[in-house]
Amino acid sequence: MISRINVIVIGERGTLRNRLVEQLNAGNFQVDCLDETAAPELISDRVLRPGSPLRVVFTPLEGNEFRLLAGDLETQGGALLGHVASRTKIFLAQAQAALKLLMQAGGGQLWVCDYDDSFSYHLDTPACPILAQARASAVRSLAKEYSRMDIAINTLFAQPIADETARPMFRQAAASLKSYAMRYKPNSAEDIIEMLVPFIRKDRLAFSGAVVGAGMGINQGHLIA
């Protein structure tokens, strides 16, 4: 009997994370959830079932660096710098712990999901471009080192998601997107998850260190691909 795939989901509560956990549970995965500031020991000290495939998924950051920047400009403060430094250290420590666990499992997958910020000037959606780029850069570096251990490490960049509460905002912003190429048709969380879950199910991926873009407009993932 093949063991169920164990998926550790790490991140803040938000539309994409919530729907991902729902779909994984419905798909007979073994799902463990940790919040975005979980101590690395909560990851590395987990006990794996023998022969159980392992996946680790970091879900998107739900904050907004532009708001922190605006506050710093008004107060001459350093909230944005402190936020980026703190969250980068936390992510790297968590990723290191996750990779230790993946090595113990004999391989697997690590996904780091973040939101594309291309439309942040038009839409009041989560946007953390500095942290997203830092995390994606770390993915590329880690993928080079760990691919020989059968660990695939990739980034998923998703353009903003339209749930029912956000649809009026998307309609209002459409008028300001003058370029035809930038006309934006928002994704649903389900569409993005239905793209990601089949990758998670696969025993082996044919790529590592990739930036996978999910969106209907221009995706900035090509900047670091």
Read off the pLDDT of residues 119-149 as tens digits, 9 standing for 90 and up.
777 777 788 999 999 999 999 999 999 988 9
Predicted local distance difference test score (pLDDT) of residue 174: 67
Predicted local distance difference test score (pLDDT) of residue 96: 96
Question: What DSSP designation does 64 have?
Answer: B
Residue entry with tokens 């680790």:
56
Kindly state the tokens that stand for 209: 């260190």
**166 φ/ψ angles, rounded to the nearest 5 degrees:** -100, -10
Average pLDDT (81-104) is 95
Q: Determine if the pTM surpasses 0.85.
A: yes
224 pLDDT exceeds 60? no
Domains of the chain: 6-223 (3.40.50.720)
**223 φ/ψ angles, rounded to the nearest 5 degrees:** -65, -25
Detail the DSSP E strand segments found in the chain. Answer: 6-10, 30-34, 54-58, 108-115, 151-158, 211-214
Average pLDDT (11-37) is 92
Q: Write out pLDDT tens, residues 35-82.
A: 999 999 999 988 888 778 999 999 999 888 888 888 888 888 889 999
Q: CA angle at residue 115 from 30 to 199, to 5 degrees?
A: 40
